Homo-oligomer: A and B are copies of this chain.
């Protein structure tokens, strides 16, 4: 029940970009150094964030990365989903055939876990990077 390391790095990278003046790019190398993230691993993560439309990448000399939209419009949930895919608290929630009892909707555990997952998603969606940047919350 833990977020993975890539997600943690992604949080830091997005927070870093949130702190830049609007429109300014940062190269992967700079982010990696500042946030102490292995560069090649960061590049991979940045591609996930780009694919998800959270950051924008610019190739070529003096290229780099910037947020693709206002940091107030980027939540921790967005970042988690970009890196790990949708949150799944228990495999029975996504694969009923994995459920040893498989009567999904009638299983009280299933219902409880689903509700817990919803809470988790709501909570993650509560934090946006404009607030995080300025240490609100």
Chain A positions within 8 Å of B, measured between CB atoms, are: 1-5, 8-9, 11-12, 15, 35-37, 76, 80, 84, 87-92, 100-101, 108-109, 111-113, 115-116, 119-120, 123-124, 127, 132-133, 135, 137
Contact = CB atoms under 8 A, between A and B. Distances in A.
A37 B99 CA distance: 10
A120 B116 contact: yes
A89 B90 CA distance: 15
Contacts of A9: 100
Given A76-B112, A109-B11, A137-B112, A101 B5 contact: no
A39 to B, nearest CB: 13
Given A1-B88, A2-B90, A5-B91, 14 more contacts: A1-B3, A1-B80, A1-B89, A2-B89, A8-B92, A9-B100, A12-B101, A12-B109, A108-B135, A111-B137, A112-B137, A119-B119, A119-B123, A120-B123
A112 B80 CA distance: 13
A26 to B, nearest CB: 16
Contacts of A89: 1-3
A12 to B, nearest CB: 7
Contact of A108 (B91, B113, B133): B133
